[in-house]
């Protein structure tokens, strides 16, 4: 099956061919025909499988065919994304798909000038990509109207739930046109997703590529059981073996990621970091340098797990395991994109065993062991507080634990660093 068979307009197919896009991905093959028929769609697919085109191309086709210009301050199609990085990625893709057409694509996210965004919306736009918080800011200023919005897309809807955007969504949805098409895409399917789908989708068709929560098949996963104090040396050793390839390193806190980036830079790696303490401009410059290959190692909190679409990322390192199991799937989805091979490596200390257990349960598989021996979960051991602590990023000690063989792992040193909590860790 090619794009011609999906019923897309020849002009749109030519635009895709100019960009070297000729064969639809599995999620595109399944979702596009239903979306073209006006059906609401619930799409379940991992990151890197072409979801943006799956929802974007049918909307662009319909808007090109209609040939209607938007009224002042109105939006024809609205796409909501949980992070700035993901929103920009979507907007960039849509801009490429609409090249040479009359359609206007706009991006509104926090961390950028709201006055400029207000001016951009003054004459109306065909496709608006937004983070929920900034969209509400613009609605409060009466800079945009949604009563003529006939297409709504919720991308990475599970992350929206995890980041608390459900309240923003409840405020935004009633402002949209009642007669509209809604599409929701997600890589995982937590219980609340069913409630969200029942609320906002009507007679939706469900399309699915991989079972929810599972990684793409070409992602070679492995785990190293290592004392927290030895993580930095192991990470440097692993990175050093592939200095010419792009690598993403995930930490749990803003402070920890910044510290880790500085240590790697001192050890001679071309590194950068992105997290919630960085300005939007700093984050964009770091991503651009990473994409261009000027930066080879990018250290990030989960803010990057949904917004990086760089096919050349060959290695993802989980320096710290995420507190939410589903976030692991999104992290490792930054590699093995668009059919390429990739490796996802986790460094697991004794006090992260509950997180690892949750991840393997969610994925319904055991991650292969690359080195070390599986730690035992100690009686009374609990999951680490969300956001970790000041000890992350540059090594340090760890809580006492035992590997399966029974030898003690070493005493964790306590530090009095600041603790990042909740979604501020992004």
pLDDT of residue 162: 67
Cross-sheet strand order for the sheet of 75-80: 105-108, 125-130, 75-80, 151-155, 181-186, 41-44, 205-208
pLDDT of residue 98: 94
Which residues in the chain land under pLDDT 50?
A: 213, 338, 388-426
pLDDT of residue 407: 38
User: Cα torsion at 84, 88, 89, 93 (round to 10°)?
Assistant: 160
Half-sphere exposure of 74 (CA within 13 A, CB side): 13
pLDDT of residue 308: 67
pLDDT of residue 277: 82
pLDDT of residue 389: 36
pTM for the model stands at 0.63
pLDDT of residue 209: 80
pLDDT of residue 417: 37
pLDDT of residue 410: 37
Tokens coding 107: 């991006």
pLDDT of residue 405: 40
pLDDT of residue 114: 93
Residue closest to 206 by CA, chosen among 88, 339, 40: 40
* Measured distance CA(52)–CA(183) in Å, rounded: 11
How many C-beta atoms lie closer than 10 Å to residue 257's C-beta?
Answer: 30
- Adjacent-strand bridge partners of 174: none
* Measured distance CA(375)–CA(348) in Å, rounded: 9
How many C-beta atoms lie closer than 10 Å to residue 122's C-beta?
Answer: 11
- Adjacent-strand bridge partners of 155: 185
* CA 55 to each of CA 59, 151, 233: distance values in angstroms, whole numbers, following the listed order: 7, 10, 43
* Measured distance CA(328)–CA(333) in Å, rounded: 8
* Measured distance CA(314)–CA(245) in Å, rounded: 6
Contacts of 243 (CB under 8 A, 6+ apart): 269, 296
């Amino acid at each position: 099956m090619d794009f011609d068979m999906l019923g897309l307009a020849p002009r749109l197919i030519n635009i895709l061919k100019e960009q070297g896009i000729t064969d639809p991905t599995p999620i595109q093959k399944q979702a596009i025909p239903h979306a073209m028929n006006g059906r609401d769609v619930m799409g379940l697919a991992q990151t890197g499988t072409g979801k943006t085109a799956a929802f974007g191309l049918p909307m662009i086709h319909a808007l090109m065919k209609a040939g209607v210009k938007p009224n002042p301050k109105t939006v024809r199609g609205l796409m909501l994304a949980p992070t700035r990085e993901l929103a920009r990625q979507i907007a960039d893709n849509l801009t490429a798909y609409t090249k040479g057409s009359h359609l206007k694509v706009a991006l509104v996210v926090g961390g950028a000038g709201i006055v400029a965004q207000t001016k951009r919306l003054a004459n109306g736009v065909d496709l608006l990509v937004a983070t929920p918080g900034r969209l509400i800011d613009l609605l409060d200023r009466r800079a945009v109207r949604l009563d003529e919005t006939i297409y709504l897309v919720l991308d990475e809807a599970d992350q929206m739930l995890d980041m608390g955007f459900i309240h923003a969504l409840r405020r935004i949805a009633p402002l949209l046109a009642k007669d509209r098409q809604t599409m929701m895409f997600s890589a995982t399917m937590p219980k609340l997703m069913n409630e969200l789908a029942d609320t906002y989708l009507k007679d939706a068709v469900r399309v699915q590529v991989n079972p929810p929560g599972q990684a793409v098949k070409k992602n070679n996963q492995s785990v190293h059981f290592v004392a927290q104090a030895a993580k930095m040396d192991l990470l440097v050793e692993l990175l050093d073996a592939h200095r010419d390839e792009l690598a993403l390193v995930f930490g749990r806190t803003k402070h920890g990621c910044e510290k880790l980036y500085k240590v790697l830079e001192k050890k001679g790696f071309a590194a950068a970091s992105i997290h919630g303490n960085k300005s939007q401009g700093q984050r964009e410059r770091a991503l651009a340098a990473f994409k261009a290959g000027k930066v080879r190692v990018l250290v990030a909190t989960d803010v990057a797990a949904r917004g990086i679409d760089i096919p050349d990322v060959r290695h993802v390192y989980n320096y710290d395991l995420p507190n939410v199991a589903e976030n692991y799937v999104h992290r490792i989805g930054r590699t093995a994109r668009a059919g390429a091979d990739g490796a996802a490596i986790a460094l697991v200390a004794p006090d992260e065993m509950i997180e690892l257990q949750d991840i393997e349960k969610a994925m319904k598989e055991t991650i292969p062991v690359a080195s070390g021996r599986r730690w035992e979960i100690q009686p009374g051991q609990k999951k680490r507080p969300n956001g970790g602590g000041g000890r992350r990023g540059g090594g340090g000690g760890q809580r006492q634990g035992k590997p399966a063989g029974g030898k003690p792992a070493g005493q964790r040193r306590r530090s009095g660093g600041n603790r990042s909590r909740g979604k501020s860790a992004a």
